[in-house]
Every structure is written in C-alpha cells, then in structure tokens.
Chain A
C-alpha cells in the first residue's frame, strides 16, 4: 500500500463510492415515482429527499401517510427505521470523533447505508489512517452518491407513473442491501449476527411501528458480540 494523503484518501473514497451510484440511482428513481403517485409534486418530492436523505425511512413515511396514519405514528415508524443511523454514528465515532465539529455535522447529514458500509470497511483495511484521512475518504465516498440521490429523485418524479411494472423495481432495494451485506460476513460472529437479525426480524415482524427491526438490530449485535467473546476464549485455550 502506498502512502496515503487526505487528498488521495478522498479519491480512494470516490472510487469506492462510485459503484453505489448503481445502488442509489434506482432507489431514488423509485422514490420519485412512488411519491408522485401518492400525489406529491416534483418540488415536494425533491424537498423530501434533500431534507431526509434516507430511502427506507422515506418509503415508510410515504406509505403510512397514504394510509392516513396519525403524524406521530408516521414519524415514530420512519425514525425507528432510521435508528440504525445512530448505531452507524456510534460506530464511526472512534474513527471520525477527532475531526472538526462542522465536518462531523456534514458527515452526519450525508450518512447513508452505503457511505457508512464502505467507510467502515476501508477503516478496517487501513488502521494507520489519521482521522483527517478517514474523514477525507468518507467525503469521497459520499461525493458520487448524494448528488445522484437528489437528481434521480427528480427524474423519478418527472417520469412519474409511466414506469412499466415489469421492471420489478420493487426488488432493487433488497438486492442492493444483500449485495452489501454478503461480503461483510467475514467471521463466524458476523454470520451469527446476520442470521440472528433475519430470524428476529421475521419472528417479530408482527410488532407494530417497525420496532421488530429494532429488536432484530439489537439482538443481532448482542449475538455478534457474544460469539466474538466465545471465539476469543476458544482461541486462547
């Protein structure tokens, strides 16, 4: 590995973030289409994507508003879907905590599944990076993704309901998420955490307000941590 400056870390981030355009573009396009079908204007749809930048939470909120759910329920459910961002935030803190507050605020605003996933993997590969290099990589990783998120939302809103149903765009979201998770299943602890998460999410799917996902997330983390401790003990004996 060659010497990494913040400049080159930024460009490494851009390179690692580029493939996620293919992930984010259909997701944003789909949100644009779904939102205009729900009666939102192009401007309202764009504002939604710029202010919130969280696909899954936006879909959740839109769905519940169409069902005329109380505003409190809409917000609680969508924020529950976004609770994972607090976990991402906590897990990025040891790496980015020493950078200036305005950079951390900007990083927080642009935090999405993809930028988190590829940054945390890069930090594990490059343990010698300074906080500045890590932040540069992070900003690099979001550079291709965020503008595409805005632009494709507008494109989707303009295309509106003329999208053919045969494209099965509904499944773009699960496929991209699975493609991100699969390479991260490196150790037994990671696999156990993911398996527990799936079992708990399906088992607790009946729990209202998306709290089943929160149970699955916390349960999966506990299983991962316990399996890691167990592996450490076994390695030592």
Chain B
C-alpha cells in the first residue's frame, strides 16, 4: 500500500456532516410528514423503493468487481446468480447467502 493520508480535519468534517446529512435523509419523511396521509401515486412508487434501489447498488459491484479491478469475474458472477436463484426459489435469506458464498469459494478454489 502507498501511504494513504487523510487529513484529520477533513476526516472529522466528513464524519460529522455525513452523519447529520444521513440522519436528515432518514428523518425527512418519517419525522416531518408524520401521520398525514399521502397520495396514492406516491404510495404506488414507494412500494418499489427496495427493489428499485438495491439491485442498482449491487449490479455494478457484480459486473465490475473492485477485487478484480473491474474485470468481469466468473466465480463472482456465478455466485451472484446462485444467490439470486436460491433466494427467489426458497424465499430464505440465509439459504441464499450460504449458497452464494459456497459457490464463490468453490469456484475460487477450483479456478485457483
């Protein structure tokens, strides 16, 4: 590793402002809107928040893994697909995690 230097002032500025900003985002609707009813069209969009954001977060990590400097990697791609299929079929988060991790280690071992 090169000698990474993060200035302490910068670090604490980021920690504190990122903490405040993250809380503001988390509190925005829950704290300010409270018990007031929201229109149908907003609720219809909000039903899909989790399935709309998390796949987008994961997709680049699967296709361009940081560990291989962004080169598509067969063990990681197969492990991701295994996790998806097992999770979809069993509806069981832990079964999906263990299948995916097992597949990853198996392929990394086999492909040396």
| Distance A90 CA – B43 CA, assembled complex (angstroms) | 9
| Distance A190 CA – B50 CA, assembled complex (angstroms) | 9
CB-based contact B96/A224 at 8 Å: no
Shortest distance between the CB of B75 and any CB in chain A (Å): 8
| Distance A168 CA – B104 CA, assembled complex (angstroms) | 8
From A44, A195, A201, B60 is in contact (CB under 8 Å) with: A201
CB-based contact B47/A228 at 8 Å: yes
CB-based contact B96/A38 at 8 Å: no
Task: Determine whether B57 belongs to the interface, using a CB cutoff of 8 Å to chain A.
Answer: yes
Interface string of A119-137 (1 = CB under 8 A from B): 0100000000000000000
| Distance A196 CA – B36 CA, assembled complex (angstroms) | 31
CB-based contact A220/B56 at 8 Å: yes
CB-based contact A93/B38 at 8 Å: yes
Interface residues of B in 45-73 (CB under 8 A from A): 45-67
CB-based contact A83/B108 at 8 Å: no
| Distance A225 CA – B45 CA, assembled complex (angstroms) | 5
Chain B at the A interface: mostly helix, strand, loop or mixed?
Answer: helix
Residues of A contacting B35 in the complex (Cβ-Cβ under 8 angstroms): 97-98
Task: Determine whether A4 belongs to the interface, using a CB cutoff of 8 Å to chain B.
Answer: no
Task: Determine whether B30 belongs to the interface, using a CB cutoff of 8 Å to chain A.
Answer: yes
Contact count band on B: 35 or more
9 A-B pairs with CB atoms under 8 Å apart are A39-B4, A61-B18, A79-B22, A84-B54, A84-B57, A172-B101, A178-B58, A183-B93, A217-B52
Residues of A contacting B49 in the complex (Cβ-Cβ under 8 angstroms): 84, 87-88, 90-91, 217, 221
CB-based contact A97/B36 at 8 Å: yes
Interface residues of A in 32-64 (CB under 8 A from B): 37-40, 44, 47-48, 51-54, 56-58, 61
| Distance A193 CA – B4 CA, assembled complex (angstroms) | 40
CB-based contact A179/B18 at 8 Å: no
| Distance A47 CA – B37 CA, assembled complex (angstroms) | 37
Residues of A contacting B17 in the complex (Cβ-Cβ under 8 angstroms): 75
Given contacts A93-B29, A180-B93, A185-B88, contact A71 B10 (CB under 8 A): yes
CB-based contact A51/B84 at 8 Å: no
Closest 7 CB pairs of A and B: A182-B87, A220-B52, A224-B48, A216-B56, A201-B56, A51-B19, A179-B96
Shortest distance between the CB of A45 and any CB in chain B (Å): 10
Residues of A contacting B27 in the complex (Cβ-Cβ under 8 angstroms): 89, 104-105, 108
